[in-house]
Chains A and B, each alone.
Chain A
């Protein structure tokens, strides 16, 4: 079984530019989550999809962040325009059931550096 894959693994962009992160969950996992870890701090929840629907996007920092999951398969997270404080590692995770009932399977993350 292929795991959760994220692309790219690293991205370095300048302030004001746009970046799109992609996540391919484990096949058959309806639940997909985005988390972010800023250097040395806690891993923060961004949002949760159930299939193609946004179940909870309460963790999205602001309207510069846009997440989509068209067709309920892979998901993208776009940051436009990027700011310095957006730097961090963005993790995607998927699960069969809701995250309270089954463990999350994480990708290796995308390390985003905004200069």
Chain B
């Protein structure tokens, strides 16, 4: 099973609406990061939230983290066509000697103009 699993796998909304994507994980973490990937491009880091933080904002992005439920959500407000991309959460766990970011399968977001 995967450490990070995004939900839903695919999401289509009208431009201007808000988009919410969720991520669940299984083990304790130091931090959780969200990345965006446009088709044919590399992943771009969006935001990092540490395990002792509950909410973080960056522009139109809002990330929440609930360590008791081992889940996070990414909210994109007032979506734009340029937000069309795949979004991945990645967790970093405190496992000395085996420290790496673990990615999920991603949510494919389509913004309909």
Contact = CB atoms under 8 A, between A and B. Distances in A.
B79 interface: no
Nearest to A4: B42
Contact of B42 (A44, A45, A109): A109
A56 B97 CA distance: 8
Contacts of B48: 103
Interface residues of A, number: 26
A7 interface: no
B102 interface: yes
Given A42-B105, A99-B92, A104 B99 contact: no
A104 B35 CA distance: 9
A56 B99 contact: yes
Contact of A98 (B33, B98, B99, B106): B99
A43 interface: yes
A104 B92 CA distance: 12
B31 A100 contact: yes
Contacts, number: 62
Contact of B45 (A35, A42, A104): A104
B36 to A, nearest CB: 11
A58 interface: yes
A49 interface: no
Contact of A108 (B42, B102, B105): B42
B41 A108 contact: yes
B92 A35 contact: no
A35 B30 CA distance: 20
Nearest to B48: A103
25 contacts: A33-B100, A35-B103, A40-B105, A42-B104, A42-B105, A42-B106, A43-B43, A43-B88, A43-B104, A43-B106, A45-B101, A48-B100, A56-B97, A56-B99, A91-B42, A93-B43, A99-B92, A100-B30, A100-B31, A103-B33, A103-B48, A104-B101, A105-B45, A106-B44, A109-B42
